[in-house]
Amino acid sequence: MCEIPFKGEIRRDYLTGSDVIFTLSRDTRPRDFRNDESLYGNKTDCQFEYGKESFNTTIKTVGKPWKLRLMYNKYPIVNSGVESFLENGFLKKYSNYGKSYVVVDTPNHSMKFHEIDNADLYEWFKLLIEGEKMMYEDKKIKHVYVFKNSGSISGGSIYHQHTQIIGLPFILPVIKQDLLIIKENHNKCIIEDAIKIDKERILIEDKYALAFSPFGSRFKGMSIITVKRHINHITKLNDAEILSIINMLKEILKRNEKIFGAHSYNIMFHEMKSSPELHLYLEITPRFSNIGSMELSGVFMNSLRPEVYVKKFRDAV
C-alpha cells in the first residue's frame, strides 16, 4: 500500500490552545535575508568579560576566578522604584516595578551553552534558584520568570552566553494560559497527561525527568523538559532532578545543532510558586525566522512535524 504524501495539516497545541499549521512548503520559500549565527560578536566591547566587572553591579560570583556571575541587569525592563497606579475607565497605567538579574553562564565569550561542563551547569542552575529566592523575598513580586535568549533571532543582543531572571508584580500571560489549560483539563495536570499522550514523541528519559516534542509543536524542533515528580517551581527541585534537566538540556542543544546547524533558540521556564497545580517544565524553541503576521494572530507555522523531528533527534547521536 502506497503511503499518501504529506501535504499539510493543522494541529491544536494542548499546552497553549494555539492552532499550528504544519506545511513542508515553508522551508522552500526564497529568502533575501541571511542571519549568520556562527558569529561570536565583538569580544572587545562585551561587558561580560573578565576585567569588565565594573560595568555591572555584581550580586554574587561562583569560583575564583569566577566561573559564574549573578548581577543586576544594567538595562532592565523593570525597576525597583516607587510604585504608581492610574486607572481611567478602560485606561490603566502601572509603574514598571520589578527586579531584573542576569547570570553570566561562562567567562568564555565564544563557548556555546552545551559545551559548558556539567559541574558548572549544576552551579548555574543553583544560582538561578538562589536568584529566584532572592526575588521572592520582595512580597510585591508575584511571578519570577527565568529565560534564555541565544542568537540574533531569539531576541538576544549579546552573543556571550547569559540567562535572565525577572521578577514581576503580575503573572505573565503565558503562565495564565498554562493555568487556564489545566482548568479546562478538569483541573488535572496537563503535563502528566501529555507525557502519556506523547510517548511516541519522547526524546530522552531517565528515572527523574524526560524530554519530548509536543504533538502541536509551535516551532520547528520544539521540545519540553520536565521532571516526573509534580512540582511547580525550581526551588523544589532536588539535586538528582537538577542533574537530569542539565543532561537533557545539553543533549537537546547539542543534537539540535547537528540537525539544524548553528541557530538561535529560546529557553523558557514555566513555573509559578503560588500555583501548586502547575507542573514545572522548560520549553526549548529553536528559532529560524522572526515572528510574522500569522504568528501575531495566534496561529503558528511549522515545517517539521514532531514525529519527524524525533526521528532526526534519535539519529543525531
Active site residues: 162
16 secondary structure, DSSP code: T
CB 175 within 8 A of CB 272: yes
Concatenating the DSSP letter of every residue in 211-245 gives EE--TT-SSTT-EEEEESS--SSGGG--HHHHHHH
Nearest to 241 by CA among 252, 229, 259, 253: 229
Helix (H) or strand (E) holding 268: strand 264-270
All 3 cell numbers of residue 268? 523558557
Q: How far is CA 246 from CA 147, 250, 267, in A?
A: 15, 6, 12
DSSP 137: T
* Cis peptide bond N-terminal to 306, omega within 30: no
Residue 96: Cβ-neighbour burial (10 angstroms; 0-12, 13-18, 19+)? middle
* Pairing verdict, β 202-205 and 162-168: unpaired
Q: Which residues pair with 301 in a beta bridge?
A: 21
Contact 258, 316 (CB under 8 A): yes
How crowded is the C-beta side of 218, counted as CA atoms within 13 Å? Answer: 19
Kindly report the length of the chain. Answer: 317
| Rounded-to-integer distance, Cα 117 and Cα 133, Å | 25
